[in-house]
C-alpha cells in the first residue's frame, strides 16, 4: 500500500521519492569501464515506475523483490506491503567524450531548502539510503531512443551517511586526540584536550539562482 509519506511523484523534469545510493560527491566508475559517472537511485511505487518505463523504455526501473530489498539497500522496504520494490537510477557522465572532466558548474549538486533559497551541501553532507527528496533531470532523444540525464538532487528529509571507522567520539560531535597525547597529559595530571568537531560550512545558493535552469525545483 502506498502511503502519503512514501508516495512518489513524476513530473515533466523531476521525480520525487526515497533516495538510495546517492553518488554525487565523488563520481563512481561505470561497470566494465574506466569512465566515471554521477548517479542517484530513487525508490518509487509501481504506478510511477510504469509511467517512467513508458517514457524511458531504455532506462527502465529495476525490480527488486521486497524480501531481498533490505539486504541490497540496507534499509527497510519503502513499500513493505508490496511484493516488489521499484528503483529508478538516473545518471550523468563525469566527463566529456574527449575525456575531460566536467567543470564544477556542470556537475550535479545536492541541495537542501532554506526558505526560498537552496543550500549546496554536495561536499559537506552525504545523503544516506532512506533520505527523501526530489531529483531533477533533463530529457534527450536521439536515434537510439529517449533518455534521462541527471541534473540535481533536492533532499527534503536528510539522513546523513556516516562513514565507518570514524572516531569513537563522533556520536558526541567531538574529536578525540590520539592515545599518545592522552598518556603524556596523564603524566602531568592534566585532562586530555577534546577538540570540538566542526562541520564544513555549506555554500548558500542565492535566492535569484534557485529558479534558474541549473536548479530546476
Task: Give, for all 217 residues of the chain, the pLDDT tens digit.
Answer: 566 567 688 888 999 999 999 999 999 998 888 899 999 999 999 999 999 999 999 999 999 999 999 999 999 999 999 999 999 999 999 999 888 999 999 999 999 988 888 999 999 999 999 999 999 999 999 999 999 999 999 999 999 988 765 555 666 666 554 443 434 444 444 433 333 334 445 554 544 444 434 444 5
Q: Provide the CATH topology of domain 9-162+202-210.
A: OB fold (Dihydrolipoamide Acetyltransferase, E2P) (2.40.50)
So what's the pLDDT on residue 157?
A: 95
So what's the pLDDT on residue 207?
A: 43
- Alpha carbon of residue 145 to chain centroid: 26
So what's the pLDDT on residue 163?
A: 72
The CB-side HSE value for 135 (13 A sphere, CA atoms) comes to: 33
So what's the pLDDT on residue 175?
A: 56
Distance CA 119, CA 112 (A): 5
Q: Hey, is 193 helix, strand or coil?
A: coil
Q: Helical H runs in the chain?
A: 46-55, 66-73, 179-187, 207-210
Distance CA 84, CA 97 (A): 37
Distance CA 127, CA 125 (A): 6
Distance CA 62, CA 43 (A): 9
Q: Hey, is 143 helix, strand or coil?
A: coil
Amino acid at each position: 500500500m502506498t502511503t502519503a509519506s512514501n508516495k512518489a511523484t513524476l513530473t515533466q523534469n523531476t521525480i520525487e521519492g526515497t533516495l538510495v545510493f546517492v553518488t554525487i560527491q565523488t563520481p563512481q566508475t561505470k561497470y566494465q569501464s574506466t569512465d566515471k559517472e554521477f548517479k542517484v537511485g530513487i525508490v518509487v511505487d509501481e504506478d510511477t515506475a510504469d509511467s517512467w518505463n513508458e517514457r524511458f523504455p531504455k532506462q527502465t526501473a529495476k525490480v527488486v523483490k521486497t524480501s531481498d530489498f533490505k539486504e541490497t539497500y540496507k534499509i527497510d522496504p519503502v513499500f513493505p506491503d508490496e511484493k516488489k520494490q521499484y528503483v529508478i537510477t538516473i545518471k550523468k557522465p563525469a566527463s566529456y567524450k574527449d575525456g575531460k572532466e566536467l567543470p564544477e558548474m556542470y556537475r550535479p549538486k545536492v541541495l537542501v531548502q532554506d526558505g526560498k533559497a537552496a543550500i549546496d551541501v554536495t561536499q559537506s553532507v552525504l545523503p544516506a539510503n532512506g533520505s527523501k527528496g526530489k531529483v531533477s533531470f533533463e530529457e534527450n532523444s536521439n536515434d537510439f531512443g529517449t533518455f534521462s540525464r541527471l541534473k540535481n538532487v533536492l533532499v527534503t528529509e536528510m539522513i546523513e551517511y556516516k562513514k565507518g571507522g570514524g572516531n569513537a567520539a563522533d556520536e558526541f560531535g567531538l574529536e578525540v586526540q590520539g592515545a599518545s597525547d592522552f598518556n603524556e597529559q596523564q603524566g602531568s595530571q592534566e585532562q586530555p584536550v577534546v577538540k570540538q568537531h566542526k562541520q564544513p560550512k555549506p555554500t548558500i545558493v542565492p535566492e535569484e539562482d534557485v529558479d534558474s535552469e541549473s536548479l530546476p525545483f
